[in-house]
Structure 1
Amino acid sequence: MWIVSFWVFPVISAFVWLAMLIAMIATWSREGKPIYSEEADGQTIAYISDIGASGLKPLFVAGSIVTVVFLDLAFLSERWLRHAGQLVPNKGWFDKLCAIFSIFFAIAGALGLILLSIFDTKHYKHLHDGFLVMFIVGYVISAILICAEYLRLGIFYRSQHRILLTSFAIKLAFIIIEVGLAIGFGVCMGSHKKKNKNPGAILEWVIAFVFTGYILSFVVDLLPSVRTRRHVPQGEKRIVMAQEDPNGSANVSLEEPLTYDSQGPNFYRGQRV
């Protein structure tokens, strides 16, 4: 059984984000799918921002803040765990810089989401649109940098930790899907044709729900750092594999301690890596 650890950060973030989206669309539907004042003529499907600018603004602001705070905690946790050796370490300055700048752009994306929820589309149209771009671009660039980092790590540790390439593939899929959807959304938003407003609203909802999957992808990244009775953290497992002899038997034992006292675990034989 996995113990509670850093992987709960993306779980909380995704749960809050998804619950907020469902609550907003459910409320809009229950109220009879009202047409808000900021909607274009002929538009029948509300944008997330339209609903967020109405009576559900407190939910929109609070949900956005909680979502990005816990998501960015996941980013910071991944960096710290890699530095501490619980996840496999970076191999050079390139992937370290990718990790650092990915956090920077994630924070920029987080600020974009918080600010767009505060400066709503009803009262601050231009500011809202600018922060929307900041949110999407920030997290997409962050994802690209993470992919670059994970591709390098995955190639170097290919025989030991295939989960790195799995995470890379998940995030790459997010980038391709999200960029494609964002381009379509931008075309619909920039169009003066009324018939394009409903497709634009649908694309915005799809982008938001796809973002949930991206958040959950960090569970895949953080789970390998957990220590349980039957699981060794990814970083320590790397050391064990590096010390295997030509016959494949490890030179380091990872047996569980027999007893515990005030000074910590006691081992009959073997040692922690």
Structure 2
Amino acid sequence: MVLAMLIAMLVTWVKEGRPHYPSMDDGQTIAYISDVGAQHLKPLFVAGSVVTVVFLDLAFLSERWLRHSNQLASNKGRLDKACAILSIFFAIAGAAGLILLAVFDTLRHPNMHDGFIALFIAGYVISAILVCIEYLRIGIFYRREHRILLISFFIKLAFVIIELALAIGFGVCIGSKKASKQNPGAVLEWTISFVFTGYVLSFVVDLLPSVRTRNHVPQGEKYLMDQGGREEGVSIEEPLTQDSMGPTTGFYRGQRV
């Protein structure tokens, strides 16, 4: 949703001939996302922002519940559990910032808009830092069984580093009153948003191991079984055959029927 919204806004601005909107500074030739979102595409900007952050925060809540219910590898200490809970809190704060900056646009409420931009970026960056701490701790604990946890940690760490660098540059540009700083600031804002899209998609990597399929047991359940703690009603479904080409007629669980 966020990717579709950003592309639609960018393409619309270009197709309209790259107009100079009333909210843009003199000498500014590249529109900020906020400039485009303050015009006739504001309904799209608001709706896209709401849908994006609602489902992203639901992903945070789902991840916490799936770890609690052993569908994903469970937390192993108070610190990583605290980081998980706090990451949800700051994600909700970041969500509020994105929704409010879309509603209070830069044309009619410039000061409030800038404040909500700061809330949005700070909320999700702090949330990502806390998620990194959580994933590092549980990734070390399950480093042999679930390497995907450390992979997810490095993905989110890259997001934190890149977003922090971009956010600092963006803050310098919008804080400057020089016209020469506005175009670089607009480019940085678009870049921050597309990097944020990658962060949103990274949660697919986190949630997929919880899915039960014909030949896959959820991450947390599998770990319990490997430790000899099989629970009643939980079983590992074996493939019909070891043939890499797929099921073979006349075989069931590796034996000829």
Note whether the superposition's TM-score is higher than 0.5: yes
Cα shift readout 1:98-144 (whole Å, capped 9, x = no counterpart): 00000000000000000000000001011000000000000000000
The correspondence of residues 117-196 of structure 1 with structure 2, limited to 5 A, is 117-196=102-181
**What residue is the counterpart of 2:215 in the other structure?**
230
Number of residue pairs the alignment of both structures matches: 237
**What residue is the counterpart of 1:210 in the other structure?**
195
Aligned with 2:32 (options 47, 50, 53): 47
Q: Is the 8 A contact 2:216 2:237 kept in 1?
A: no
Judging changes above 3 Å, is the alpha-carbon distance between structure 1 residues 253 and 228 closer, same or farther for their aligned structure 2 residues?
A: closer
Aligned with 1:255 (options 219, 226, 237): 237
Q: Which amino acid aligns with 1:102?
A: S
| Inter-partner Cα distance in structure 2 for 1:255 and 1:199 | 55
| Inter-partner Cα distance in structure 2 for 1:253 and 1:138 | 41
TM-score (norm 1): 0.84
- Aligned partner of residue 202 in structure 2, secondary structure: helix
Q: Is the 8 A contact 2:37 2:45 kept in 1?
A: yes
Q: Is the 8 A contact 2:211 2:218 kept in 1?
A: yes
1:82 CA displacement:
0.4
1:253 CA displacement:
6.0
| Inter-partner Cα distance in structure 1 for 2:226 and 2:205 | 21
1:34 aligns with 2:19: yes
Cα shift readout 1:167-219 (whole Å, capped 9, x = no counterpart): 00000000000000000001111112211110000000000000000001100
1:240 CA displacement:
2.1
CA RMSD of aligned residues (A): 1.7
Q: Which amino acid aligns with 2:131?
A: I
Q: Which amino acid aligns with 2:236?
A: L
1:80 aligns with 2:62: no
| Inter-partner Cα distance in structure 1 for 2:43 and 2:212 | 39
**What residue is the counterpart of 2:248 in the other structure?**
none
% same residue:
72
| Inter-partner Cα distance in structure 2 for 1:43 and 1:253 | 62
Instruction: Tell me which of the two structures has the higher relative contact order, counting C-alpha pairs closer than 8 angstroms and 6 or more residues apart.
Output: 1
1:54 CA displacement:
0.4
1:241 aligns with 2:226: yes
Q: Which runs of 5+ in 2 are unaligned?
A: 241-252
| Inter-partner Cα distance in structure 2 for 1:91 and 1:205 | 38
| Inter-partner Cα distance in structure 2 for 1:192 and 1:49 | 17
TM-score (norm 2): 0.89
**What residue is the counterpart of 1:13 in the other structure?**
none
| Inter-partner Cα distance in structure 2 for 1:120 and 1:254 | 53
**What residue is the counterpart of 1:221 in the other structure?**
206
- Aligned partner of residue 134 in structure 1, secondary structure: helix
Q: Which runs of 5+ in 1 are unaligned?
A: 1-15, 245-251, 259-268
Cα shift readout 1:29-53 (whole Å, capped 9, x = no counterpart): 1111000111111000000000000
1:68 CA displacement:
0.3
**What residue is the counterpart of 1:11 in the other structure?**
none
- Aligned partner of residue 40 in structure 2, secondary structure: coil
Aligned with 1:65 (options 36, 50, 72): 50
Aligned with 2:80 (options 89, 95, 104): 95
1:243 CA displacement:
2.5
